[in-house]
A and B are shown apart, each in its own frame.
Chain A
Amino acid sequence: MSNGHDHHDGNDDHELRVSKIRDGTVIDHVHGGQALNVLAILGIDGTNGEEVSVGMNVPSDRLARKDIVKVEGRELSQDEVDVLSLIAPDATINIVRGFDVVEKHRVERPDVVEGVLSCPNAGCITTGDEPVTSRFSVLEDGVRCSYCETIVRDEIASLIDT
């Protein structure tokens, strides 16, 4: 892993489709089709000039099909990694410096996420004009609004507050 190849599974052809980065973060083992949601949850939309590479539906031994997101020049904070776990529970985070992976860890689910997701319940106080930050507790199989208590199990990515 220290040679700059930031993932093992898949073959070289697939790996080459996503360029290596010098310094930054590689988010590997994202479930297939979730890469753009990963970018959304990180607030990355390209308008700030970030250099981002995305591989989607790459063959993977562990997930069958996976996405890979490489963000040049940015190391994710633990909070960001925690939030990622909601939509990419199997993700591996690789911190790269000088083409070498210097840290590698799996995401861990947080107890609470704040200011990241919007409540889908139109009757929830957080959907109005109140000065309140959304807050969700993280369940084993979903998230729950701390205000109206609505539970969301599917399509959490659609709640990402972009």
Chain B
Amino acid sequence: MRHDHLITSKQLSRADIETVLDYAAEIDADPSTVADRQAGTLLGLLFFEPSTRTKMSFETAMKRLGGDVVDMGSVESSSVTKGETLADTVRVIEGYADALVVRHPKQGSATMASEFVDVPLVNAGDGAGHHPTQTLLDLYTIRENAGLDDLTIGIMGDLKYGRTVHSLAYALTNFDTRQHFISPESLQLPREVVYDLHQQQDGTGIREHDALEGILPSLDVLYVTRIQRERFPDENEYQQVAGEYQIDAETLEAASDDLTVMHPLPRVDEIAPEIDESDHAAYFEQAHNGVPIRMALLDLLLSDDAGIRGDGDE
């Protein structure tokens, strides 16, 4: 893995992914082995959108590596309110920090920002575009629960605006997977994502559906995302589809006993709380995995020792 920046999961090969996941597993098993790996290193956190899990897990990861963070704080308290551009902000914070993590509401923001800095820049979500570190922790969770080859995965909910979905779908094309996308027609995958998936996997492993029923029994993993009420111009239209994409214990009666249910969180009502205690639920484990994954990724991006950084290069 020799990327200067991590902008999209499309830039990750199978070997890259396995390098990060394997290293995260080592860290997860014994975090003390890396406690001082990044002593003296500062990570700049630039979050132009609200974030709890992603921001805190990056901060935790950096501190558990022995480093520290400098945080831009909320948009309201930053120079953004004075009209400063993202390009200027990243160039300024580049002078303070050894790497940057950027979340911004505009698609393509991380790509643009990376063109203005020399330190490693990690995309922590660019509008409806990409969220590659979420994908790495998703893959880690999937590998732990179901394996990453000969995998049948259902990805359900808001597929149009869901950046976690786009990133995950791209990354899964590196593995032997069958991907079933389940959504209302108005929230289907963007055509550019479908275009890319067909380019990467010649379309043979990709299917789109408007209902979970029928496909559920064949799934090893069901990845649920929130159907966002605000995306619908008409409340009635939302009410008509919302119930179709919520799962509860009754829904899962048709599923395999080994089905793993995932969700990037936060959830609202798309997964009933009664599933939390079942063997199917992996979403809190998934959130926990954000720390070892981001520890592994940051250490790989910030370290020069080829023993770690060079592993798995194709």
A residues neighboring B (CB under 8 Å): 121, 123-132, 144-151
Say how far B286's CB is from chain A's closest CB, in angstroms: 26
Say how far A121's CB is from chain B's closest CB, in angstroms: 7
Return chain A residues, CB-CB under 8 Å to B129.
148-149
Say how far B255's CB is from chain A's closest CB, in angstroms: 34
Nearest A residue to B110 via CB reads A125
CA distance A128 to B105 in the complex (A): 12
Known contacts A131-B85, A131-B87, A148-B129, A125 near B192 by CB under 8 Å: no
Return chain B residues, CB-CB under 8 Å to A126.
108, 112
Say how far A151's CB is from chain B's closest CB, in angstroms: 5
Nearest A residue to B129 via CB reads A148
Return chain B residues, CB-CB under 8 Å to A144.
192
Nearest B residue to A139 via CB reads B195
Known contacts A123-B106, A124-B106, A149-B107, A130 near B192 by CB under 8 Å: no
B85 x A151 contact (CB < 8 A): no
Return chain B residues, CB-CB under 8 Å to A146.
108, 111
The reply on B127 being an interface residue by CB < 8 A is yes
B127 x A130 contact (CB < 8 A): no
The reply on B156 being an interface residue by CB < 8 A is no
CA distance A69 to B112 in the complex (A): 37
Q: Pick 14 A–B contacts, CB within 8 A, sort by A.
A: A121-B107, A123-B127, A125-B109, A125-B111, A127-B106, A128-B85, A146-B108, A148-B107, A148-B108, A148-B127, A149-B129, A149-B192, A150-B107, A150-B192
A147 x B85 contact (CB < 8 A): no
CA distance A75 to B108 in the complex (A): 36
The reply on B180 being an interface residue by CB < 8 A is no
- What band does the interface of chain B fall in when counting residues whose beta carbon is under 8 Å from A? 20 to 34
Nearest A residue to B115 via CB reads A132
Contact of A125 among B106, B128, B195 (CB under 8 A): B106
B residues neighboring A (CB under 8 Å): 83, 85-87, 104-109, 111-112, 115, 126-129, 191-192, 195
Return chain A residues, CB-CB under 8 Å to B83.
129
Since A148-B129, A151-B195 are in contact, a sample of 18 more A-B pairs with Cβ atoms closer than 8 Å, ordered by chain A residue number, is A125-B86, A125-B104, A125-B108, A125-B109, A126-B112, A128-B85, A128-B106, A130-B86, A130-B87, A132-B87, A144-B192, A146-B108, A146-B111, A148-B106, A148-B107, A148-B127, A151-B191, A151-B192
A123 x B128 contact (CB < 8 A): yes
CA distance A145 to B126 in the complex (A): 15
Known contacts A123-B128, A144-B192, A149-B192, A132 near B112 by CB under 8 Å: yes
Return chain B residues, CB-CB under 8 Å to A130.
85-87, 112
Say how far B127's CB is from chain A's closest CB, in angstroms: 5
CA distance A132 to B109 in the complex (A): 10
CA distance A130 to B80 in the complex (A): 12
Return chain A residues, CB-CB under 8 Å to B85.
128-131
Say how far B153's CB is from chain A's closest CB, in angstroms: 23
CA distance A149 to B9 in the complex (A): 14
